[in-house]
């Protein structure tokens, strides 16, 4: 295992007895959840942002892991928080949202789930060719645009290539999550960027329509790219998540 990059380290912010478990995306790190985590902590909530196995070090490390290890990490962290906090909310960006949905489907004791640009349908030329490419090109360079460079300058740590075997494992996770959505019965808040460069926007509709939750809401983001937690609508995202948590706190009190 390569050493964890300083910008990719997990973090915890102590607050009240309501815990928010923030889950970063595929090939990235807790750094992309830093702004949201600090804002939620300012609202009073305790915030835990773990680093998923294989992330934060090298692409080779990630290619040696699968969704099972990522999920086990989140399942265990959610269990620890449930033992120590009155309520636990799972908040995931991209693949992190898939892990949050699976945890909500599998386990009792979750108070609510928030997904931000979580993939059901993926964009990009890698998608159809990945099963073959894993044998001949195990790492595919990402498209590095101005937005990607700007986030890197703001201390976001992410791999600059996609480990193909790990990517295929994420696709397996997507299939499992779709099958289990009917078992997600906790309150659900969904964000989706209208011009997401990484996933098909209809992914959010699948999550909303198939989830078993009675309380579910979809919010479209008009000015955000895929990593919306580092985009211009972070104020809206924080406001909506804070309201979502407080509404559910009030409902539980009643």
What is the 8-class DSSP label of residue 61? H
Among 165, 144, 161, CA closest to 65: 165
Distance CA 2, CA 11 (A): 19
What is the Cα–Cα distance from 146 to 153, expressed in whole angstroms? 10
pLDDT at residue number 121:
95
**Rounded-to-integer distance, Cα 15 and Cα 6, Å:** 24
The tens place of each residue's pLDDT in the chain, 254 residues long, gives 679 999 999 999 999 999 999 999 999 999 999 999 999 999 999 999 999 999 999 999 999 999 999 999 999 999 999 999 999 999 999 999 999 999 999 988 789 999 999 999 998 756 555 555 555 678 988 989 999 999 999 999 999 999 999 999 999 999 999 999 999 999 999 999 999 999 999 999 999 999 999 999 999 999 999 999 999 999 999 999 999 999 987 676 43
Q: Which of 222, 220, 213 is nearest to 240 (CA)?
A: 220
d(CA 55, CA 65): 9
pTM above threshold 0.75: yes
Residue 134 structure tokens: 């894993």
CA separation, residue 188 to residues 23, 97, 242 (Å): 15, 11, 13
Cβ neighbours for 173, distance < 8 A, ≥ 6 positions apart: 67, 70, 71, 95, 98, 99, 102
Q: What pLDDT does residue 1 have? A: 60
Query: For residues 28 and 10, is the Cβ–Cβ distance under 8 A?
Result: no
Any idea which residue has 């196995």 for tokens? 53
Question: What is 6-253's CATH superfamily?
Answer: Alpha/Beta hydrolase fold, catalytic domain (3.40.50.1820)
Q: Are 121 and 198 in contact (CB under 8 A)?
A: no
Edge-to-edge strands, sheet with 11-13: 11-13, 46-49, 18-23, 87-93, 112-116, 188-193, 216-221
Query: Which tokens in the block code for residue 227?
Result: 């990593």
Closest C-alpha among 246, 21, 214, 208 to residue 118: 208
The C-alpha torsion from 126 through 223 and 188 to 246, rounded to 10°, is 150
pLDDT at 126: 61
Residues 168-186 as b or e (16 or more Cβ within 10 Å = b): bbbeebbeebbebbeebeb
Residues 6+ apart with CB under 8 A from 217: 188, 189, 190, 244
The two tokens of residue 206 are 């699948």
Residue-level pLDDT at 130: 54
Crossing angle for the helix pair 164-180 and 126-136, to the nearest 10 degrees? 140
């Amino acid at each position: 295992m390569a050493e964890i990059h300083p910008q990719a380290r997990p973090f915890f912010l102590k607050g009240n007895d309501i815990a928010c478990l923030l889950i970063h995306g595929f090939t990235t790190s807790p750094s992309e959840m830093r702004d949201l985590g600090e804002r939620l902590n300012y609202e009073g909530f305790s915030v835990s942002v773990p680093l998923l196995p294989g992330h934060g070090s090298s692409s080779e490390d990630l290619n040696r892991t699968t969704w099972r290890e990522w999920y086990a990490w989140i399942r265990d962290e959610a269990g620890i928080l449930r033992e120590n906090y009155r309520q636990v909310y799972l908040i995931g960006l991209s693949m992190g949202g898939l892990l949050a949905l699976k945890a909500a489907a599998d386990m009792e004791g979750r108070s609510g789930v928030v997904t931000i640009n979580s993939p059901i349908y993926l964009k990009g030329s890698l998608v159809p060719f990945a099963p073959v490419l894993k044998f001949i090109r195990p790492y595919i360079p990402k498209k590095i645009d101005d937005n990607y460079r700007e986030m890197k300058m703001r201390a976001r740590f992410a791999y600059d290539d996609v480990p193909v075997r790990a990517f295929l494992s994420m696709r397996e996770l997507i299939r499992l999550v779709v099958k289990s959505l009917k078992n997600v019965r906790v309150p659900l808040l969904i964000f989706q960027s209208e011009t997401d460069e990484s996933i098909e926007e209809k992914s959010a509709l699948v999550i909303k329509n198939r989830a078993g939750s009675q309380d579910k809401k979809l919010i479209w983001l008009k000015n955000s790219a895929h990593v919306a937690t580092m985009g211009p609508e972070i104020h809206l995202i924080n406001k909506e998540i804070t309201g979502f948590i407080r509404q559910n706190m009030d409902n539980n009190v009643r």
